Every structure is written in C-alpha cells, then in structure tokens.
Amino acid sequence: MKVNLLALLLLLFSFAQAEDGYRLWLRYDQLKNASLRTGYESRLATISLPGNSPTLQVARKELEMALSGLLGKMVRIPETRNPQASLQIEKSSARVSAQELTSLGEEGFLIRSTGGKSPLLITANSEVGLLYGVFHFLRLLQTEQSIEKLNIKEVPRLALRMLNHWDNLDRTVERGYAGFSIWNWHTLPTYMDQRYIDYARANASIGINAVSITNVNANATILTQPYLQKVKALADLFRAYGIKVYLTARFSAPVEIGGLKTADPLEPAVQQWWKDKAREIYAIIPDFGGFLVKANSEGQPGPQDYKRTHADGANMLADAVAPFKGKVIWRAFVYSAEVPDDRHKQAYSEFLPLDGKFRSNVLVQVKNGAIDFMPREPFHPLFGALPKTPVMMEFQITQEYLGQGTHLVYLAPLFKECLESDTYQKGKGTTVASTLNGMAGVSNIGTDINWTGHLFGQANWYALGRLAWNHELSAEDIAKEWIRMSFSTDPSLVSDLTQMMLASREILVNYMNPIGLHHIMATGHHYGPGPWVADLNRPEWNPTYYHRADSIGIGFNRTATGSDALSQYHPDAAKKWSDPATCPDIDLLWFHHLPWNFTMRSGRTLWNELCYRYNLGVDSVSWMQTVWNRQQSKLDAQRFEQVKMLLNIQHQEAKWWRDACLLYFQSFSRLPIPAPYEQPAKSLDYYKSLQFPYAPGH
Ligand code: GCV
C-alpha cells in the first residue's frame, strides 16, 4: 500500500514537472539560487496595487502566480492599498515629477528603487502601463537581475504592436504549422478557453496591443451578428490586457452578406453599408481596433474590380470607422499577372502615386521585402518612400519559407537586418525602423500544446513583441532573455543556445537560398525545394522566374540593364547593390545575373561558392545538433527530445534542399560538385518526383 502511494506521488510529481512548453516564457518555477530568493522576498514583503479594475486584477493575479512560483511560497496581495508596502504600484505616482510622467505617454512605465529599505516603485499613466511595468519587473526576477537599485524607463517606440492571425473560420490556419486555430468559433462566445487568457497574458508580457484574429484571405461571415458576438467575447477578455481586436474585412462583403449588387467604394449605398456595419460593430465592441484588408491581391476582391484605386477603397472603410476612432490597415502586398513588370516593382509602382491620398486613420502595411517573406530579402523600397502615409511593417513569424514547423530558426536577426537597413530617404541614417508607425507579425500560434509547433517558434513570437516595443534591443539580448525565462539561467546553456539561435537564420539561408537566391520552393504548400517549377499559370509564381539559371549563369538582373527595380530605392541605398563588385554576397543573385565562373570575394567561382554555401548550411545543422545535445543534462527530457527530433528532421531536410538545388543548377552549369563535398544521394528526377499533397498550412 505504502509503495503504491509513493508511486502515485512520484507519478503526480512527474506530471507536475512535465515541460510541454505550454507555459511559454512565463514559467515562474522556483528560483534555484536561495540567497537571491531571500533577497527578493525581503524586498517584496508587501505589495500594494492601486485598485481592483479588470487590468489591475490581471496584474495582481500575475504577480501572485509569478511570485508564488519564483519564491516557492504562497504570495497573496491584499485588495486594499498599503502606503507602507515595499513594492508600490501606483498610477501617476506623486513621487515622480510631472515632466517624467508626461514623458511616459499612455503606455510607458517607470520602475524605480533607490536601494536600502526604500520601497520599490512601478508607475505609469495608465493601468495597462502598470501591467507592462509588472511584466517587465517579473522579467527581471525571472532572469535573476538585481532589483536593489533600479531606474528603468520604458516607452514603446511604436504605437501599434500587432499580431496578424491567418486563421480561417473552419479553424484551419493558412501557413499555420502548429495545429488548428486557437479560436474555437463553434463554442464561442459561451465557452472561454483558458488558452485565450494565457494568450492574452503572453501578448501583454511583450507589449502586443492589437490582434487581427482572422485570415487576410477573408471570409465575410465574420462580419455577421453571430460571429460578432463571438468576437465580442474575445475583445471583452483581451481589453484588460490592453489588447484591441481587429478583423479582416472582405471587400466584397456588401455583396456577399449585404445583398447589394456592387462593392464599388464610390457607390453611396456601399459606403452606407460599411458605415452601418461599423456602427453595428462598435455598438457590440466599443473599442474595436478596425479593419485589416488584403485587396486586389492573389484573387482577393478590391476597389480595382470597379476601376477604383487602393486609396478609394481604404478611404471608404476609413470613413466608416473614423467616428469611432477606428483604423484601417491596408496591405501593400499586391502584384498582378496582367502587369508584365518585375514583381519586385509592382507594390511600389502601385502605392507611390497614392502617397498623401489616404485618410489619416489609414495605415499602409508593407511586408519587409518586396517579394514575399523570403529567408533573406533586401528591405521593401516602399519604406521611407511614403512620407505622407503612416506605414506599418509586416513580418512573418510563421515560418512559411523558413522551414515551416520543423526547422529551428530564430528570426530576430532577420527582423533586425530589415529594421536597421538605411533607406537614405531623409538622409543617411533613415533606417527602416525610423519610418514606421506600427509593426505586425503574422502569427505562428496554434492549438499545439506548446503553441507554436516548434518550441523555438516561441522565441520568434517573443522577439516580434520585444522589437515592436523597442527595435533597438539586440537579437542577442532578446534571445538571452527568452532562454533564461524558457529554460534556465545556467551560463553555459545560455551561451550555447544563444550562439545556436543567432546563427540559425544564416544557416538556413545557406542550405535553402544562398547568395541572394529566392522563391525556389515547391508549389502551393511551399514545403521543400522546387527550383525547376516552370509551368504555373502566372509567370511570377514560377521559381524559374526568380533564379533565371541558364548555361551562362544565374540570378535576376534588377539593375538598369535588367528590370531596374534598383531605381525604386534612394540612389544612396541602391549604390552598393548596383555593381557586383560592391554588392554584398548575401544579395548578389537578387540583383545580378552572373556567370558560373564569376569570381566571388572568397576567391571561389560562383558555382563553387554555391556548392560551398549549400554544404556549409548542412554542416552547420550538424553543429546545431552537437550544441543542443551537449546541453542535454541541463534540459528537461521532454523538451530536449522534441527539439532533438526536430533537429534530425532539419538535418535531413537541409540535405534535401542542398542536393535537389545543386543537382538542378548543375544541369545548367555543367560543372562538378567539388570532390570534398558529399555527392547528392539521389537523382534530380527523384527530387522532382516528390509530392506532398497533405503538407500543412496550405
Ligand atoms: C494570406 C503568400 C502566402 C499566402 C498569403 C499571402 C499574403 O503569398 O503564400 O498564403 O495569403 O502571402 O500575404 O497575403
């Protein structure tokens, strides 16, 4: 009997310890360092919150849960204010100058402690500012920082920090690799899944303040009463966390659900329909954020169906939501089969003449690069080119073109590379980041127990939020924060995992798209290599359109002698790219078609460099495996095994990319893969024959 009881206890203990990744970076396990714990405990003996509003209740609960976990003892925070408390959380504290308070704005916060017995202070002008301050403070504890003397002032750089879900009403997720949509439309609004709360906590902890919950390839049904009631339930929950809900608006909704004959934005009946719809929505959700729109792009309806411009379409919606302070986020991801011009140039050509023509509550959302979330793209030429239009960045957190759900790729270096690029539009130093009014990330979240499918996908959600808050944070610092909170603060583990994460994006570029190659993936699901694809209806859907390999060489000439996409950049930004001699290797084949025997900076010929890069990519995945494996003793078994298995898949897939691409390009170069490198395992025909009809996310 005794033995059985013990076994049961052990079993329960092992369940309690199970690390399935659900807790994300908000794990709050007991701090191992006892003296640190004691120090924290004495500084946090009593805590005072300024009230009991929904947002302050969220803050209280989070503090209680976090401190109880981190300190290993039950912490409860009384509902009454305590002016003697050792941690004072105060709205617009009288202990801070009016000037300082003003500088915090609506969402910023201040954390101050002068040491000794003086109380710690978290102050902000709004309750959500206090909540952000609480999460920041908890991060200090989770990452084992000293809280003796603090003077932290944090103000978000961007007003709009957003997740864009591409979630369909049937719960499939476009380009989703982590299961189904977390929005259970069938059981909403009555059944409120705990996941919705934990999702809001995670977002608030990194400063996300807006979420668009439906696919940009939109379904008008979301705008009907029953669905708006479901959306209301989510919006009501998210409000306390400072998160506003946006919906994607299908441009043809007035026809599809409104019974009109047209969706022409200049037609008064259509305008009235949207005004009525906006009034209906705001009556249900008073703080509704607004609409996110994909129009006249990849088959979606839009104003051009009626020979109107993108500005006509956006302004009509903007007028409908303006009385309620709503916004319209209009995507600039457009390219058309009818336009014979380089796809790279089309969004710029379309939107540049519209600068100054949008209503003030319209933001134009631009993808980081001009093609489509490739492993590496030069920054989009629209950044800095629309001085009269608020512009939002759109990054893709879900890894459609970066190994989907199976590759470990930390995206902060990709985000930073773009944000720090110099557009020169207002002189040297006009970085992409400096031209932005908001930042969105296409979500990688789903119903998988660990939210993101690949555990390291969590780091990309985390990094998007942190960079939207402050783009000056380094990719390294963000990785270290995330590792410390998600795994442990052990120095060798933090150092190893940081190195692996920081290198991971470049490693993927090497085994997928080296030297500026792009859009050479398989069709439809985009899983795996497909550089040979040449038979799709639209020219710019074919990988051959992008790599242009022939017997002479490879690459897309986008200089003045080619498509001249370079002319869309400021001349000072374009200069380095315009000449192969000055063009960085990483962008070479993006901008130039070069002969197979072109001499690279390394001294290797272009062909040999391709072979070198592809092989380096594969070898570097082996290195990642070594790094991960050597930290096994410091990792929990469950997460260690998961990532280990996925790294095995990544290694296999890296080889697949290498072999398929080199064999295919070799059919043009007619050159051997140099001897030291592993020769492809299978024939080109074999790689071409592979089919994946049920690859996820399609
Ligand atoms: C939502 C790419 C993706 C599409 C996506 C589109 C977009 O083309 O493959 O799935 O559609 O981008 O951003 O609108």
Domain of residue 303, CATH code:
3.20.20.80
Q: Determine if ligand 1 sits within 6 Å of the CB of residue 216.
A: yes
In a domain, 497, yes or no: no
In a domain, 695, yes or no: no
Distance 330 CA to ligand 1 centre (A): 14
Is 372 assigned a catalytic role?
A: yes
367 Cα nearest atom in ligand 1: 13
| pTM of the predicted model over 0.95 | yes
Q: What is the pLDDT of residue 337?
A: 75
In a domain, 132, yes or no: yes
Distance 301 CA to ligand 1 centre (A): 15
Question: For the chain, what is the domain count?
Answer: 3
Evaluate whether 463 touches 410 at the Cβ level (below 8 Å).
Answer: yes
Q: Rounded to 5 degrees, what are φ and ψ at 546?
A: -95, -35
* 526 φ/ψ sector (left φ>0, alpha ψ -120 to 50, else beta): left
- Shared-domain flag, residues 150 and 168: no
Residue 56's CATH number: 3.30.379.10
- Shared-domain flag, residues 144 and 174: no
**To which residue do tokens 């008064």 refer?**
268
The domain boundary residue, chosen from 122, 154, 186: 154
Which residue's CA is the closest to the ligand 1 atom numbered 11? 217
Q: What is the pLDDT of residue 6?
A: 44
Other CB atoms within 10 A of residue 524 CB? 14
Question: Residue type at 226?
Answer: P
- Shared-domain flag, residues 43 and 187: no
- Residue ranges for the chain with pLDDT beneath 70: 1-17
217 Cα nearest atom in ligand 1: 1
The domain boundary residue, chosen from 154, 169, 201: 154
Q: Determine if ligand 1 sits within 6 Å of the CB of residue 524.
A: no
SS3 27: coil
Q: Give dist(CA 687, CA 334) in Å, integer.
A: 32
HSE at residue 607, side-chain half, CA atoms within 13 A, is 20
Q: Determine if ligand 1 sits within 6 Å of the CB of residue 333.
A: yes
- Shared-domain flag, residues 637 and 671: yes
- Shared-domain flag, residues 138 and 176: no
How far is residue 376 CA from its own chain's centroid?
A: 15
Q: What is the pLDDT of residue 239?
A: 98
In a domain, 56, yes or no: yes
Q: Determine if ligand 1 sits within 6 Å of the CB of residue 294.
A: yes
Q: Give dist(CA 413, CA 25) in Å, integer.
A: 20
In a domain, 9, yes or no: yes
Distance 174 CA to ligand 1 centre (A): 8
Indicate which residue of 19, 154, 264, 372 is catalytic.
372
- Shared-domain flag, residues 229 and 92: no
Q: Determine if ligand 1 sits within 6 Å of the CB of residue 372.
A: yes
- Shared-domain flag, residues 290 and 419: yes
Is 174 assigned a catalytic role?
A: no
pLDDT digits 0-9 by tens, 27-79: 999 999 999 999 999 999 999 999 999 999 999 999 999 999 999 999 999 99
Distance 339 CA to ligand 1 centre (A): 19
SS3 161: strand
Residue 543's CATH number: 3.90.1330.10
- Shared-domain flag, residues 637 and 535: yes
Which residue's CA is the closest to the ligand 1 atom numbered 12? 372
In a domain, 476, yes or no: yes
The domain boundary residue, chosen from 126, 154, 182: 154
Evaluate whether 107 touches 93 at the Cβ level (below 8 Å).
Answer: no
Q: Give dist(CA 213, CA 220) in Å, integer.
A: 13
- Name residue 151's beta-bridge partners: 112
Q: Determine if ligand 1 sits within 6 Å of the CB of residue 217.
A: yes
Q: Give dist(CA 612, CA 622) in Å, integer.
A: 15
For ligand 1, pick from 214, 251, 298, 538 the residue to mutate: most ligand atoms within 8 Å of CB. Answer: 298
175 Cα nearest atom in ligand 1: 10
Query: What distances in angstroms separate CA 660 from CA 520, 548, 623, 637, 688, one per listed residue?
Result: 11, 16, 22, 34, 8
- Shared-domain flag, residues 175 and 315: yes
Q: Rounded to 5 degrees, what are φ and ψ at 553?
A: 180, -150
In a domain, 564, yes or no: no
Distance 178 CA to ligand 1 centre (A): 17
Distance 560 CA to ligand 1 centre (A): 29
For ligand 1, pick from 167, 173, 175 the residue to mutate: most ligand atoms within 8 Å of CB. Answer: 175
Q: What is the pLDDT of residue 104?
A: 98
Distance 44 CA to ligand 1 centre (A): 48
Is 400 assigned a catalytic role?
A: yes
Which stretches does DSSP call E strand in 116-182? 120-124, 149-154, 160-164
- Shared-domain flag, residues 377 and 476: yes
pLDDT digits 0-9 by tens, 541-586: 999 999 999 999 999 999 999 999 999 999 999 999 999 999 999 9
174 Cα nearest atom in ligand 1: 10
Range of the domain at 597: 511-556+593-689
- Shared-domain flag, residues 166 and 120: no
- Shared-domain flag, residues 147 and 179: no
In a domain, 546, yes or no: yes
